[in-house]
Chain A
Amino acid sequence: MTAEELLRLLGQVDGDLIQEAEVYRPARRPRSPYWGPVAGGVAAACLLAVFLTHVPSGGNSSSGSAAPDAGGTGGSFAWDSQISHAQEDGASSAGAESAPAAGEEAPGDVLTTPAGEYILTGEVLSALPEDSRQVGVLFPEGEESRSGLYTSRADYAGCLLWEGPDGELYVQLSGGGYALARMEGEG
């Protein structure tokens, strides 16, 4: 199937869904007169805190001390931002810049499956071993995957995952090739 065929197929979805999309508008969120100023105050305090911890003032503040704090309060922001960039890269071009390509993989990233965690070795194979089977689609961590397949690499999200006869996993890269991952603890 090509993208154009999929676009055509989408034209055949049920008429009531099309009708709904024609008129659908998201509900407006009611604004509270109380929480608006409070949120503004909290935002200003956060900005001030970030400013104070990031300005090199000769004290003991550093990005190292700010990072754990950001992980606590702003972790989701950082994650959203990361996702968003991944999407923009993927949507704005055919993926030439962001697409994982054979031979360029750095080891150490993690694939999480219902069977356990797998570490990407950095090896990229040009073909799958015989008798490999398709496992499913990789989702970024934090998303909801029905098959429970996640990747710590944003640019692997959406890639197909295969399992070789030896139990090793292979990520089908959009730039060609298959990135090898082994169960954590295996050589």
Chain B
Amino acid sequence: MEDPEIIQLYWERSEQAIRESEGKYGPLCHAIAWNILAQEQDAEECVNDTWLHAWNAMPPQRPAVLSAFFGRLTRNLSLDRLRYNRAAKRGGSQVEAALEELEDCLPAPGRPEEHLDAAETAAAISRFLREQPPLERNLFLRRYWYLDPISELSRRFRLTQGQVKSKLHRTRLRLKEALLREGVVV
């Protein structure tokens, strides 16, 4: 089923919307949740919560890119769950490694952000990513949006793990430079 038809089902309050979403985007959302949580039961619950949140969001929303919409919901729900789990000392995942790597990009680690708000910073990151070559851009997003492990990126992009790490490192440096230029930190 095409995405506009699935969205229409949500707007018509048809429960078939959830079945169609699950069939088409369940594996994608599950992969994201698993990368973040590394726990089957938690990942499953986050994916189920994704459909519930989508049900509550549509209407009024009509997402332009349905896969990104579902993926973003799953990602946020999974990060929330991870925070809860970390507080309770449960689980481990790609997030810990990704967080360490992202320290590279922080213009001023630990300093209160007072220059750009979240939406502006996200827009700056989007602009930065559009300026990158496709390989670097997609590698970066697969690592830090989808939280794919390095080994999976190596296979997917036909690079050695060293090349993957090296390209990610260079992109992180460029992002840091771009964030500084955009005024994330004076």
A interface list, Cβ under 8 A from B: 1-22, 24-26, 28, 80, 83-84, 86-88, 90-91, 93-95, 134, 136-137, 139, 143, 145-147, 157-158, 160
List of B residues within 8 angstroms of A86 by Cβ = 169
Given A3-B100, A13-B141, A91-B97, verify A84-B68 contact (CB < 8 Å).
no
Q: Mark B105-145, 1 if CB is under 8 A from A, else 0.
A: 11111110100001101100110011000110110011011
Q: Are B106 and A13 neighbours in the complex by a CB distance under 8 Å?
A: no
A-B contact pairs, 27 of them (CB 8 A): A1-B121, A1-B184, A2-B106, A3-B106, A6-B106, A7-B79, A7-B95, A9-B118, A9-B122, A10-B144, A10-B145, A11-B145, A16-B68, A21-B146, A25-B156, A26-B135, A83-B166, A84-B162, A84-B163, A84-B165, A88-B165, A91-B97, A91-B101, A91-B169, A94-B100, A136-B177, A136-B180
B158 within 8 A of A: yes
B177 CB → nearest A CB, Å: 5
Closest residue on chain A to residue B82 by CB atoms: A4
Q: Are B173 and A17 neighbours in the complex by a CB distance under 8 Å?
A: no
Contact of B166 (CB < 8 Å), options: A2, A12, A24, A87: A87
B58 within 8 A of A: no
B88 within 8 A of A: no
Overall SS of chain B's interface? helix
B98 within 8 A of A: yes
B63 within 8 A of A: yes
Q: Are B129 and A134 neighbours in the complex by a CB distance under 8 Å?
A: no
List of B residues within 8 angstroms of A87 by Cβ = 162, 165-166, 168-169
